Structure 1
Amino acid sequence: MRNRLRAMAAAAALCALLAGCSDPGAGGGTAASAPATWPEQTARLDGVNLTIWASQNSTTVGEKVVADFEAATGASVDVETIPDPYEQGVQTRVATGDTPDLAFWQPTSSMLTAIGARNVLQPLDGAPWLERTDPAIRDITGLLDGTRYAALITSPAVEGVYYNKEVLAAAGITTLPRTFDELVAAARTLKAAGVTPFFEMGGDRWATQWWVQVQLADAARDGLWERVSSGQEKFTDPTILGAVERYKALIDEGLFNADIATAALEDQAAALLAGQAGMVVQVNSFFSQLQALTGTPELDQKIGFFPIAPSGNIGTFIPDQSNALVAFRTGDAAREAAARQLMSFWLGQGYPAFLADRQTVSLQPGVPDPDGVPTALRDVHAALPTSVGSMQALAVANPDLYIYLADMIQGTTTPQQVASQTQAQFDQLARAQGVPGF
């Protein structure tokens, strides 16, 4: 019942977004006919107050660049943390007309649609940082129907395997797995050596879906999510259901931590770093937890990364909310311009200091990576160009697969129920968007 209520609330919020606003692309709304202007990065903004919405794991992402922007312009910028589940909280508030000036937001087409981008977000076409952005990454996400609504600030997340080098070496694993089957074989070797092979954060729930999605990478490359989006294939059909069933089978085999149902993100990072587990399937934001625990020398010594799929070392990219910013149409022209100015500063004059503060990879060839970026993060970024899109990147809707999988881990649902619940919510969301066939 809780899951059905969550799905109904999400669909209702989406309907309000889609029905309650006119579509600027259709000739209505508040969109200006001329392209937006981009103020000079450090133009004075005394007396201007901006608000940024952030999730619990992105609240501190902009601390350095925001402070630098305030000092350079005189603006005041407040970062407001929206409690998890972040996406649902933001959608509900936006549907009631409550909007910030900027927000961290997943820049995929499904999530831009979910927030009603055409109606509530400022288009970012012609932004000054675009020509400086790596062409291989510039258009990988952030676009909806050809209009840019999101600005990438960090490398889009890639689903793959973070592993403890010392743990694998001690168990005699000297060659990294090259397929999903080899990954499972390595896990069994670790278990035989008395080590917890995989660590999962079932208590925090949101990472559970990565285990299903990496198994679907080959199918995604072959058009899986396009078929799901057109109703030709369902979550209850063998491909997706089979991935859920195998995830459950690996759990039942005892290849995961004993506290899988209650463990949190912090537990996962601590366990991998301490060598209490050999591997985790995660995305880039997980690495921030590791960086909070130790510095680059220890991370380079202990932590590695490789992408994985059934057929080989193929990543699955899933830009998340910590990777991108969106700017809202607030109706206040001065604040809207100031929001664009902050974006321009973030990816312009303030970008090198931002990268150094976050110890992360540069998206601009003209701006070198800062000293001390961990090797694993560079490997994640290197996997991006050959990665395939996730459900969030390629499907028309983004149901709460992770919630249903977490319920399965808790023992309250079966794989078949997970697939049925996810399909039912997908149908709801697709109908709310007016997708043909639903």
Structure 2
Amino acid sequence: MKNSWKAVVATAAVAAVALTGCSDPSAGGGSDAPASWPAQDTKLDGTTLTIWAAQNSNKTPESVIKGFEKLTGAKVDVVTIPDPYEQGIQTKVATGDKPDLAFWQPTASQLTALNAKTNLQSLDGAPWVENYDANFGDLTGLLDNTRYAALVSSPAVEGVYYNKEVLAKAGVTETPKSFEELVELGRGLKSQGVTPFYEMGDPGWSTQWWVQVQLADAAADGLWDRVNANEEKFTDPTIQGAVDTYQGLIEEGLFNENIKTSTFEDQGDALLAGDAAMVVQVNSFFNQLQAKADTAELNDKIGFFPISPKGNVGTFIPDQSNALVAFKTGDEKREAAARQFLSYWLGDGYQDFIDTQSTPSLLKGATTPDTVPQALLDVHASIKDSVGSMQAQAVANPDFWINLTNMIQGTMTATEVTQATQEQFEELAKAQGVSGF
């Protein structure tokens, strides 16, 4: 299994060539000049928009769609693209199949993967951009200084979710102030018969968070710039050391015994039930907890803190559930309607959206609902001091987590993980024409 990524690289390279090959303006190429932005209430009777969404985001726009359809007379259909979502989208777009809008990870590398200049509408000049609070307008969604993605919810942050009752019972009164303290806490909990950390190994997409939080300080010091310039590699001491540490913690027995077979659902159930003390995860994990418990229970049981080698710095990783892109379809009326939909979402429809989703506000003038649990507020607050993840800062996103999962399953060593990841990174960078590869 250690060379299985080569098929993925071949697919990605073919998709990249296919995506860059659409230069015919009728196929959606052309200028990135800012388009006009229709008023939110412009009538759209007879217009149907299609949104592509993943299984974990297909319910997200429900309140927005309901309000938009009532206001404009348009019809909006959501089509669920099966996992793996990103690969499915890229394959469809490479063959010329495009929706009007799609949920998409708003990072430079993922916008590049869609060949944004050719396939996506520029969102420059959008009326809602100036309404973003804090640094949200500049945090993500940009490629080569052009805005291609609309951030609609708080970007995910890699950090530690913990069960307050478990830690209190163990006599823990303060959360760790560094990764080293986190590990020492885990060892102390294990000595008391508590499972310190719970990891999902089937599928193991969260495995990479354990490595990336260890890279936060290096990321702040330009790690991913050096990787992008081919001046530092996954096989070099910084990233290799983080993988080695992760493997060592697993071998030490600081994780759940069923790590190879445990699922995302198992992870949430275990933390809520107090069967484990801590989980390193992102916001979608907490969304799962919100489906299992009300705000009062979550406030009583679940806390959050960011973690990094030398402190409490979070690692932000906006995912596809946080943002949308609008495609160039060649139908000017539908393209304008898609822009209007985004204006409504981040305009008159926004307060109802965050109320329905129980999520913090990104916009000035919108009020974060009092139903948002404290842990999610703490995640949101950590963004302003966070650093970018591999997904946010690297020019290409190799299947790091697949390789780490293979390590957990025993089919790859820690050295093979970084070697395979580096080789795939180089192939993807070459396919994108990145200088230095």
For Structure 1 versus Structure 2, the TM-score category normalised by the shorter chain is over 0.9
Distance (whole Å) between structure 2 residues aligned to residue 116 and residue 30 of structure 1: 10
1:32 deviates by 4.6
Query: Is 1:156 the equivalent of 2:155?
Result: yes
1:204 deviates by 2.2
Equivalent position of 1:8 in the other structure? 10
Distance (whole Å) between structure 2 residues aligned to residue 258 and residue 62 of structure 1: 38
Which one-letter code corresponds to 1:136 in the other structure?
Answer: N
Equivalent position of 2:108 in the other structure? 109
1:64 deviates by 1.4
Equivalent position of 2:243 in the other structure? 244
Are 1:23 and 1:118, in contact at CA under 8 Å, matched by a contact in 2? no
> How many residues are aligned here?
434
Which one-letter code corresponds to 1:66 in the other structure?
Answer: I
Are 2:205 and 2:402, in contact at CA under 8 Å, matched by a contact in 1? yes
How big is each residue's C-alpha offset from its partner over 1:260-306, in whole Å with a ceiling of 9 and x where there is no partner? 11211111111111111111111111111000001110011111100
Which one-letter code corresponds to 1:308 in the other structure?
Answer: I
How big is each residue's C-alpha offset from its partner over 1:104-138, in whole Å with a ceiling of 9 and x where there is no partner? 10001011101111110000001011111114221
Tell me, which stretches of 5 or more residues in structure 1 are unaligned?
none
Q: Secondary structure at the match of 1:52?
A: strand
Percent identity (aligned): 64
1:30 deviates by 3.4
1:79 deviates by 1.0
How big is each residue's C-alpha offset from its partner over 1:379-410, in whole Å with a ceiling of 9 and x where there is no partner? 01110011011111111111110111111111
Mark the CA change 1:219 to 1:23 in structure 2 (over 3 Å): closer, same or farther.
farther
Equivalent position of 2:50 in the other structure? 51
Which one-letter code corresponds to 2:218 in the other structure?
Answer: A
Distance (whole Å) between structure 2 residues aligned to residue 272 and residue 33 of structure 1: 46
Q: Which moved more, 1:70-79 or 1:248-257?
A: 70-79
Tell me, which stretches of 5 or more residues in structure 2 are unaligned?
none
Distance (whole Å) between structure 1 residues aligned to residue 124 and residue 327 of structure 2: 14
Equivalent position of 1:224 in the other structure? 223
Are 2:33 and 2:122, in contact at CA under 8 Å, matched by a contact in 1? no
1:365 deviates by 2.2
Equivalent position of 1:302 in the other structure? 301
Distance (whole Å) between structure 1 residues aligned to residue 273 and residue 24 of structure 2: 52
Equivalent position of 1:263 in the other structure? 262
Question: How does 1:205-224 map onto structure 2 within 5 Å?
Answer: 205-224=204-223
Q: CA RMSD in A?
A: 1.4
Equivalent position of 1:235 in the other structure? 234
1:11 deviates by 2.3
Distance (whole Å) between structure 2 residues aligned to residue 128 and residue 320 of structure 1: 23
Query: Is 1:415 the equivalent of 2:417?
Result: no
Which one-letter code corresponds to 1:5 in the other structure?
Answer: A
Mark the CA change 1:59 to 1:413 in structure 2 (over 3 Å): closer, same or farther.
same
Distance (whole Å) between structure 2 residues aligned to residue 411 and residue 276 of structure 1: 25
Q: Which moved more, 1:319-328 or 1:251-260?
A: 251-260
Equivalent position of 1:175 in the other structure? 174
TM-score (norm. length: structure 1): 0.97
Are 1:16 and 1:95, in contact at CA under 8 Å, matched by a contact in 2? yes
Equivalent position of 2:282 in the other structure? 283
Are 2:189 and 2:195, in contact at CA under 8 Å, matched by a contact in 1? yes
Query: Is 1:403 the equivalent of 2:402?
Result: yes
Q: Which moved more, 1:351-360 or 1:366-375?
A: 366-375
List 4+ stretches of structure 1 deviating above 3 A: 28-34
Equivalent position of 1:22 in the other structure? 23
How big is each residue's C-alpha offset from its partner over 1:128-171, in whole Å with a ceiling of 9 and x where there is no partner? 11111114221010000000000000011111000010011111
